[in-house]
A and B are shown apart, each in its own frame.
Chain A
Amino acid sequence: MKSACVRALKITFGFLCLLIVIPQMGYAADTAAVNELVAEKWLKNEFNVSTLSPEEQMEEMRWFIQAANPYKGMTIRVVSERIDTHVYESNVIARAFSEITGIHVVHELTGEDDVIKKLQTQIQTGVNLYDAYVNDSDLIGYHYRSGEAIALSDYMAGEGAAVTLPTLDIDDFIGISFTEGPDGRLYQLPDQQFANLYWYRHDWFSRPELKKQFKTLYGYDLGVPDNWSAYEDIAEFFTVHVKEIDGQRVWGHMDYAKTDPSLGWRMSDAWLSMAGAGDKGLPNGYPVDEWGIRVIGCQPVGASVKRGGALDGPAAVYAVTKFVEWLDKYAPPEAKNLNFTEAGEWVAKGNIAQQIFWYTAFTASLTDASLPIVNEDGTPKWRMAPSPHGAYWDEGMKLGYQDAGSWTLLKNTPPERRDAAWLYAQFAVSKSISLKKTLVGLTPIRESDIMSEVMTEKAPYLGGLVEFYRSRGRDVWSPTGTNVPDYTRLSNYWWQFVSRAIEGQLTVAGAMHKMAEAMDAEMQLMANESSLQCKPILNEIEPEDVWLKREGAPKAMRNESPKGKTLSYDEAIRAWQ
């Protein structure tokens, strides 16, 4: 009797369960079908260029819909800096992801320095500000040392395997070497990349009367400068001698120098690498990198020359001296009061002849057909080319900076939120989306996109961007590397000390000496207080001339005014091949 009752109860319970589960299954199937329709709409109307076939794109979308199921209804928060690519992500890609997967994304945009400060705040306080950060790979030295960021290579193979896109194709990412630690683990996933290249008005440089005038004055051809002497001559030529073109005042140089964190990027984003302050080695000089920090193995041992670094050596002083001098002599007077964003808008005005160190993140904003720097057929009047190198630069060294804004997950983010954010991160870089994103923001991350037919067709309108990213140049222009033990703690010194030289409060040499000492002192604090692995152990002090006589960086004084040398545009970009 008892067993019959139990059996009856079991059957009733099972029936009730079916009553509950079957409609739910139907609901789930219906919801998935609705989501697929939404995905189809997005693929047809927005993400309609891809290196994948439409069927393959749809297959990726189905995977996202299924993988997102446990996180439906959640709102996740991510943050990145404010450039065209991220604006597109914030306004379009986040919306698409939300509609397709049911995970709502708030993708905040803020200044790059704010992104870093927020990341630092989450690490310091443990408060879950964001579920993922698009953080420049310049912090790789900190991420692998601190243990605060998730090693993505471990996560993808383990805890995050179920939420890792099978078609992510890590080997397709052109900047993946920038986001690996010396331990071989991947800490960040590139989301966008842009380089600092030489930018110039190809149309002006091609004018016969200007070419003739330049040759008469300087004794060599007007062209893409190969060294800083030629850059300086061309700057003087346009600002002092040409002065006006087509009735408009023109300038031979453009830069920015407002006392602001972005002034520091001008320097830490490898200004000193162009001058040749560091050692040979890619992606960063070894044992001394372009920040002038020397390492032994993985341990930083000093930034000042007296400890074997190069931050206050002759090459660094030369680099900053030229920065200040060119700003004073050849740039528009307003330049001193501009920051990164404000200066980015200047070349579009059509009165700048060249810029030694121009962020390709601004490419999209310079291609608008209504601008005075764009031809009627939509092709640009300008070109980008390899940056000229300074007197201390030697073959085998990096020649400039590349920014690789990369998805970063922190360990103190709640796992469920982290997993949902990882889905969004992969969506934003998936092959279904990435080519369209590249066309909008022009910050390519995938080999497949950059080599695509679509990019070949686009190349004549982008002034050399495609040629750069199809060449080995993309490896020679590299981010801050692993010699820098804690980017957030050290990067402030750049703008705080260089601004004193610009404002005349200190000589350049004085500012660089003080900065080198401040960096050494900060690294000593890290050594005393922090639990970083591979933390700094400072070298004992030795006389500067002892270090300057040794091979490599810090380098002894050289002839800083060699004869100017220029190349034709074709010769210049061949250097990338």
Chain B
Amino acid sequence: MLGSSRKYANVRYLFTLCSRGWMAFVFLILFSSVGFAAEKPLTLVTFIEKPLIDQKNGVPSGVVVTVIKELFRQANVAYTLRLMPPKRAILMTTETDNYCVFPIERSQEREANYQWVSPVLISRHGLYSHPDRPIELKTLEDARPHKLGSYLGSGMGEYLENLGFNVEYAGRNELNARKLLKNRIDLWVSDTESAKFLIKHERLSLSAPELIFFTTVRAMACNLAVDSGVVKKLQKTATKMYRNGDVEKIYKSLN
């Protein structure tokens, strides 16, 4: 009896261990993403925009990703994170419950289509010319006769197109730098941080922008069906992170 009792105790111990392991396994599965809140994890989608957003072995990285991770950690909201091309990321978020995309330009035209957490990034946008064909720009209007290069999904490209500028779209931002050097566009429209990085790392023979013409507030846009309480919590946390210097600290690490 004793023997069997010990055996039983061992089995029970093993079972306990197993069940603890199982529970741990279940726990890991359920909360494999960062954040421990009870809500269903949000699916965050983003896109490569070096150096702000990059990837290591398929995993998103970069300062904007760091800001977002810190935001979700402080707000205690669970999430998963994926990379997609920008246009697809925006479409996916528009159409899919529980999706959020970052960092996209928040604009009046887009305002009603999403719930917003902003800003996650403030960008300045410049116009870059070919080194052999400088184009002097005093105001944005001076760029009107020229062919401008932007990328699909860029709010900046849409803004210029709406103003009647001649905009040609590439799949990704960096492709425009090459198009510029091959004289396929006259001016490359880019966020200045991305342009600075690409010029340096791809050793492009481009200099400073002819004109820094626009400032955008870039945000995380969430599908309208996402729990508005969660969005409010994230917004409150984001504002707090700006005010207490957390965001500035992360962005300073870029320089």
A interface residues with partner B (beta carbon < 8 Å): 75, 77, 79, 90-91, 94-95, 98, 104, 106-114, 117-118, 121, 124-127, 129-130, 259-262, 495, 499
Interface residues of chain B: helix, strand, loop or mixed (majority): mixed
A129 touches B122 (CB 8 A): yes
Which of chain B's residues 79-115 have a Cβ closer than 8 Å to chain A? 106-109, 111-112
Contact for A108 among B122, B213, B243, CB less than 8 A: B213
27 contacts between A and B (CB under 8 A): A75-B212, A77-B215, A95-B139, A106-B139, A107-B139, A108-B214, A109-B163, A110-B107, A111-B108, A111-B109, A113-B108, A117-B118, A118-B217, A121-B217, A124-B243, A125-B119, A125-B239, A125-B242, A126-B242, A126-B243, A127-B122, A130-B215, A260-B108, A260-B109, A261-B111, A495-B112, A499-B112
- Known pairs A111-B109, A114-B108; list 8 more (Cβ under 8 Å): A90-B140, A91-B139, A106-B139, A110-B107, A111-B108, A117-B217, A260-B108, A260-B112
The verdict on A124 contacting B242 (CB below 8 Å), with A90-B141, A108-B215, A129-B122 known, is yes
Complex CA distance for A471 and B217, rounded to whole angstroms: 41
Task: Write the nearest CB–CB distance from B220 to chain A, whole angstroms.
Answer: 14
Q: What residue of chain B has the Cβ atom nearest to residue A130's Cβ?
A: B215
Residue of B nearest to A75 (CB): B212
**A109, A110, A125 interface centre (most CB from chain B within 10 Å):** A125
Q: Which residues of B contact A495 (CB under 8 A)?
A: 112
Interface centre among B106, B138, B159, B247 (most CB of A within 10 A): B138
List residues of chain A with CB within 8 A of the CB of B140. Answer: 90
With contact pairs A117-B118, A125-B242 given, residues A261 and B108 touching in the complex (Cβ less than 8 Å): yes
B139 in contact with A259 (CB, 8 Å): no
Q: Which residues of B, 134-176, contact A by the 8 Å Cβ criterion? A: 138-141, 159, 163
When distances are taken between beta carbons in the complex, the residues of chain A under 8 Å from B163 are: 109
Write out the residue numbers on chain B whose beta carbons fall within 8 Å of the beta carbon of A104.
138
A106 to B140 Cα, complex, angstroms: 8
Query: Do B217 and A106 have beta carbons less than 8 Å apart?
Result: no
Partner of A113, one of B111, B215, B247: B111
Q: Choose one: A90, A91, A98, A121; the contact of B122 (CB below 8 Å).
A: A121
Chain A residues with CB under 8 Å of B243's CB are 124-126
Chain B min CB distance to A532 (Å): 16
Tell me how far the C-beta of B45 lies from the nearest C-beta in chain A, rounded to whole angstroms. 23
Q: Which A-chain residue is minimally distant from B217 (CB atoms)?
A: A121
- Among residues of B, the one whose C-beta sits closest to the C-beta of A116 is B108
- When chains A and B are docked, how far (Å) is the Cα of A262 from the Cα of B243? 30
Contact B108 A95 (CB under 8 A): no
Q: Is the CB of B239 within 8 A of A124?
A: yes
User: Once bound together, how far apart are the Cα atoms of A106 and B211, in whole Å?
Assistant: 9
| Docked-complex contact B242 and A259, CB < 8 angstroms | no
Q: What residues of A have a CB within 8 angstroms of the CB of B212 in the complex?
A: 75, 106
A98 and B107 contact, Cβ closer than 8 Å, known pairs A108-B213, A121-B217: no
Q: Which residues does chain A contribute within 8 Å of B159, judged by CB atoms?
A: 110
| A/B pair count, beta carbons within 8 Å | 72
The CB with the most chain A CB atoms within 10 A, among B106, B109, B211, B242, is that of B109
Complex: how many Å from CA A98 to CA B211?
A: 14
Evaluate contact between A114 and B215: CB separation under 8 angstroms.
no
A90 to B211, CA, bound (A): 14
B217: A residues at CB distance < 8 A: 114, 117-118, 121, 129
Residue with the highest number of chain A CB atoms closer than 10 Å, among B119, B139, B214? B139
B interface residues with partner A (beta carbon < 8 Å): 106-109, 111-112, 118-119, 122, 138-141, 159, 163, 211-215, 217, 239, 242-243, 247
Of A90, A121, A125, A262, which is within 8 A of B108 by CB? A262
For B141, what are the chain A residues with a Cβ–Cβ distance below 8 Å?
Answer: 90-91
B-side contacts of A112, CB under 8 Å: 108
| Residues of chain A contacted by B109 (CB below 8 angstroms) | 111, 260
Q: Which residues of A contact B106 (CB under 8 A)?
A: 114, 117
Residues of A near B211 (CB, < 8 A) are 106
A261 touches B112 (CB 8 A): yes
Distance between Cα atoms of A262 and B242 in the complex (Å)? 29
- Please determine whether A94 and B139 come into contact, CB atoms closer than 8 angstroms: yes
Q: In the bound complex, what is the Cα–Cα distance between A108 and B109 (angstroms)?
A: 17
Chain B contacts for A91, CB-based, 8 A: 139, 141
- CB contacts (< 8 Å) of A118 on chain B: these are 215, 217
- Among A90, A98, A127, the residue within 8 A (CB) of B242 is A127
For B213, B215, B239, B247, the residue with the greatest tally of chain A CB atoms inside 10 Å of its CB is B215
Name the residue among B106, B112, B118, B247 with the largest chain A CB count within 10 angstroms: B112
Across the A-B interface, give the 7 residue pairs with the lowest CB-CB distance, nearest first: A111-B108, A125-B242, A113-B108, A91-B141, A259-B112, A121-B217, A114-B108
Q: Are B138 and A129 in contact (CB under 8 A)?
A: no
Neighbouring B residues of A113 by C-beta, 8 Å: 108, 111
Residue of A nearest to B144 (CB): A91
Of the candidates A79, A94, A124, the one whose C-beta lies within 8 Å of that of B215 is: A79
**CB of B162 to closest CB in A, whole Å:** 9
Instruction: Provide the bound-state CA to CA distance between A126 and B244, in Å.
Output: 10
Verify A114–B107 contact, CB threshold 8 A: yes
In the complex, A111 Cα to B242 Cα: how many Å?
A: 25
- A111's contact among B107, B119, B215, B247, by CB below 8 Å, is which? B107
A135 to chain B, nearest CB (A): 15
Rounded to whole angstroms, the CA-CA distance of A113 and B118 in the bound complex is 14
List, in ascending order, chain B residues with CB within 8 A of A124's CB. Answer: 239, 242-243
A-side contacts of B112, CB under 8 Å: 259-261, 495, 499
Query: In the complex, A301 Cα to B214 Cα: how many Å?
Result: 40
Cβ of B242: which chain A residues have Cβ within 8 Å of it? 124-127
Complex: A332 Cα to B107 Cα, angstroms = 27
- How long is the Cα–Cα vector from A460 to B107 in the complex, in angstroms? 38
Inter-chain contacts of A259 with B (CB < 8 A): 112
Separation in Å of the A430 CB from the closest CB of chain B? 19
Q: State which of A98, A107, A121 has its C-beta within 8 Å of the C-beta of B119.
A: A121
Interface-central residue, A90, A94, A127, A495, by most chain B CB under 10 Å: A127
* A101 CB to nearest chain B CB (Å): 13
CB-based contact B213/A106 at 8 Å: yes
A104 to B138, CA, bound (A): 8
